[in-house]
Structure 1
Amino acid sequence: MILNDRTILLTGGSNGIGRALALRFAELGNTVIALGRDETRLAEVSALSPRIHARQCDLEDAAQRVELAEWVVKEHPDLDVIFNNAAVQYRFDVTQPIDLVKAQQQLEINLLAPLHLASLLVDHLATRPKPAIVNTTSALAFTPLVEIGVYSATKAALHSLSISMRYQLRDRGIDVIEVLPPKVDTTIGAELRDDPNSTQGGMPVPELVRQAVAGLESGEQEILIGLSAQAKVDPEAIFHRLNNENTH
């Protein structure tokens, strides 16, 4: 994948991995349209580079996704990459009545939004040279972490959809690429920790971005990072390792 002089629509671009990706893509000479819900964080990330343009959007809202697609084609007709990175993560416990709001939010943002947004923009992308759709999934696409079972399931579903999208779009010249991080040191899943302002630990964000960008530049379709490679090969062993580590 060419990673200079592109126009990249990046969801979840105001925090964590997305913020770091926005800055790195800008450094490589791309125009980045960073999406997020928090206007303060968006203003902060857009101030990092004149190549980063912020756009407030709640991807949980289907109507806002439609409005976004119409806006980006009009205001950024050179759009040639969609990077579906936004996600939310909450605790899962089927032994208790589930929180439907949180479950539905994960399904909407983590799974339906990437699918919907891609479907709204494929006709435009097909007119561009070497267009691409990039989906961020997870090592949990191959084996779940029970404590965040719904989140894990959305990543497994997005992995499956990425394969289907790749097949359906193969004759339209649109590459479909999947980035599969391990646990990364961000604030996602804050409700799982005693201090909601702490990070979850894991791979440092700069290292994740380095490996993701290297995989994109080398043309990999599945960019398996850290534990993802092991989880794909031996999901049962990784399942027991992950869930035994999280039962104390």
Structure 2
Amino acid sequence: MLVTNCIFRVGTAAVLLTSDPSSNVFAKYELLRSLRTHHGPDDAAYNAAMQADDDHGGIGVALTKDLVGVAGASLRSHISTLAPYVLPVSELVRYAYCVARSVAKGERKAAAAYVPDFTVAFEHICIHAGGKAVIDAVGRIMGFDERVTEPARMCLHRFGNTSSSMVFYELGYFEAKGRVKRGDRLWMLAFGTGFKACTVVWRALGDARMAPDNPWNDCVHRYPVKRFV
């Protein structure tokens, strides 16, 4: 029940949104899509991370051993909903072909486990950095290489686990490295209690510049730390 004091650090992120088209000249990104899938009806998902009273009446947060497995199952369900809206037609056709071929061969487990290539839809991906095991699981399920998981691992190294706000620290990492160019698409993927998976998709309206308040200003030259990748 003391897990919040053991694995979470204090961190937050804020973003100013507007629907005023005239603000495009000032805006850094355009919000293209958001998606939130909730898996609470499943008992394992509901109990994986929850706040409750302990035997002495103290309030705390408990994590179960099912957490990583629940995150993986929730991720698969989430991306199956997201895929038709973000993937190019060519990748959707390839995905459908691979699944149909596996089903025809009687390999239903292989069909259910197949994941399309989301790197063809996004230039940059910010993964929920809720711990090494979470990053490893997302990377394994999605087929991401070290280049894709690098920002999440570096954020975990530099700032610790600040939960879902980490995806904005990862955005800061991309900007500090000068990797974001006009027209680039960026996918933020985060998890939360419930259990829920959340997506936000952005498009860069201009090339990234190092902002005065970027949290990486004083240390980005030291990253990536190769031994931590």
The two structures have a TM-score, normalised by structure 1, of 0.28
Structure 1 or 2: more strand by fraction = 2
Larger Rg: 2
Higher relative contact order (CA 8 A, sep 6+): 2
Structure 1 or 2: more helix by fraction = 1
